[in-house]
Each structure stands twice: as C-alpha cells, then as structure tokens.
Amino acid sequence: MGGLLIPHGLGAVSQGWRKVVIVGTGQVGMACALTMAVRQRADELVLIDADGQRAAGEALDLSHGLPFGEPLRVRAGGYAEAAGAQVVVITAGARRGADESRLALLKKNAAILREIVGALQAVCGEAVWVVVSNPVDVMSYYAWKWSGLPKEKVVGSGTLLDMARWQTLLAQELGVAASSVHAPVLGEHGDKAVPLWSRVTVGGAPWEMPIPEQERLWGQVLRAGQEVIRRKGSTSYGIALAVDYLVGAILGHQERVMPVSCLAQGYYDLGEVYLSLLAVVNRQGVSRVVNIPLNDREYSGLQTAAQVLQQARIGIEA
C-alpha cells in the first residue's frame, strides 16, 4: 500500500444528537461516564449493566451532579435503550489481578462479550463501537467478527493509554509538559506493545536516548498498570481519560490521529488481527490509517505482537 494516509472505511458521516451508551458500570465504565459528563462529550448517556439495579443507582448518583454542568440526560436502561446511539463503549468484563496478564482474562471476557454483541447487534448497527474490555485487542477483534459491522466501526482503546503513560514518564524525565512530548505506541495493549523510539519528539524536535535508558523507561511503562492495580485494586482514571479523548474525536468528527486497535490486515504485511496502528479517527470510526515508516526493530516488534494476538485466539469459537 502506498501513500501516507490509507483509507480504512467508506461510511457516510452525519452530525446531530450525541448519544453515548456505556456497557458495564464498574469502576472503568463509571470513570468513563463521569469524565464524559464533566467534559460535556454527549447530550445523552445510557448506562447498561448485567446488574440493572447497580446501573440505575449509578445513573441516579451521576444525575444529582448535573445542575453543576451543561444539560445532559443520564439514565440506566436495557439494550433496547441503546437504539440511536452514535457511540457504544464496552467496558464490561472481569477485573484483572495484579499478577494476571490481560490475555489470561480472555476466555472469561470473551463469553461476556458474546452476550453483549448479540444484544447490541439489532439496535446499534450504525454506532461506532469502542471496546475497552481486556484483552482489548482480541476483544475488539471478536466484537468486529461477531457483530458483522464494517471494520471501521469497531475500534479498541488499544495502546492509547500505553502512549499516555510513556509520554508522562518521558516528560517527567525531561522536565517538560506531557503534552509537549509525542511518542506513539503500536501493537498490543500489553507486553508486546511497540514503542516507536524513532518517532519520539519533544516540542516537535527529534529526541534520542541511549538504549539502556530506553529499556529502563519502557520497563516502567510495561509495569505501570500492574503497579496501579497492586496499590489500589484497579486502573480507572487514566483509561477513562483516554476513552473520553477517543470518544471526543468520534463525536466531534475531529480527524484526530491516535493509536487505536483496528483491523490491521493489509498493513505492514499483517494478517487478520486487531492491534494498534496510528489512525485518523472521526465520526465513522477509523477513517484512515497512517502509513508511517517503521525501522527494522519496530517492524519486527509489530509482527511479534500480531503473532501473540493471533495465537491467543486459539480455543475461542469465532
């Protein structure tokens, strides 16, 4: 494939009432709901959970703060209430333990996802589905495979949080604002994430550091999630801010470039696998993929990530 920006989807784009559905009202789901409410991302939030009473309680609690912000409709409901949504955010799933890999969650969360996809198919065929549940790359693949939606309509949060953690650590190392650091991450949201050291810039200027220092800093990124879980039991705020950023790009039709999990088939000699690539995100989901050149180390890392993710699917009925 040639060119810098490669078309990934063909859907039309429409604007209007911003309705977001969040499936799963655990800590991550509600952190996402609160962040979107504070940042005024939507006109309507619908909360869905297997525990309907919990979803109703969360909606009631959140609604009590609405007088302090812009108008927003918040309610709990069943899957029928998801009709007409522009974005569906799927956070439901088992919680990861401090010493548990994201891939170890796969069988448990795949079973949960299959039920969710079956319920959403009939009512949310026009929405962009944002998958957050771990292991997010494999879960995104199955959300696409089981739903029958166009590939651009199913997007995983992918390495967006890995990138944010890396940029935060680099910024602390350099003593600059994290927003001044650009450090993209491709591949798996997990141990096989691929940091693009060749593309790190600070204030737009290329920046390099010795290999041992690279390994030290990247090791901290890989351990970051486990460190949070070990101290407080789960991660929620960082991923919620990342999801809000992604949903904002979709609802606002922002054409924003970010690493998200998408169908990577045909890019970088990859097969049928979901993993993070740099993509242009707008109201149709992933509209284009940025064909950024990779060095040998980065290319090899991406191939390894794809192999690990494809291997993880063995034993799960497609």
CATH assignment at residue 43: 3.40.50.720
Asked if the structure places residue 192 within a domain, the reply is yes
Pair 130, 174 in one domain = no
Task: Give me the pLDDT at residue 250, please.
Answer: 97
Q: Which domain holds residue 90?
A: 15-156
Pair 123, 225 in one domain = no
- Tell me: is residue 133 an annotated ligand-binding position: yes
Task: Give me the pLDDT at residue 10, please.
Answer: 64
Task: Give me the pLDDT at residue 14, please.
Answer: 52
**Residues with pLDDT less than 70, the chain:** 1, 10-15, 96-103, 317-318
Task: Give me the pLDDT at residue 101, please.
Answer: 64
Pair 166, 307 in one domain = yes
Give the separation between CA 265 and CA 275, rounded to whole angstroms.
10
Task: Give me the pLDDT at residue 100, please.
Answer: 63
Percent of all residues in the chain with a pLDDT value above 90, rounded to a whole number: 83
Give the separation between CA 192 and CA 307, rounded to whole angstroms.
10
Please give the helix or strand (H or E) that residue 257 lies within, else none.
Answer: strand 256-263
What are 239-252's pLDDT values in tens digits? 999 999 999 999 99
Asked if the structure places residue 2 within a domain, the reply is no
Asked if the structure places residue 5 within a domain, the reply is no
* Terminal Cα-to-Cα distance of the chain (whole angstroms): 28
Pair 131, 28 in one domain = yes
- Tell me: is residue 225 an annotated ligand-binding position: no
- Tell me: is residue 54 an annotated ligand-binding position: no
- Tell me: is residue 25 an annotated ligand-binding position: yes
Task: Give me the pLDDT at residue 6, please.
Answer: 81
Asked if the structure places residue 283 within a domain, the reply is yes
Pair 77, 148 in one domain = yes
- Tell me: is residue 156 an annotated ligand-binding position: no
Task: Please identify every residue annotated as catalytic.
Answer: 189
Give the separation between CA 125 and CA 83, rounded to whole angstroms.
9
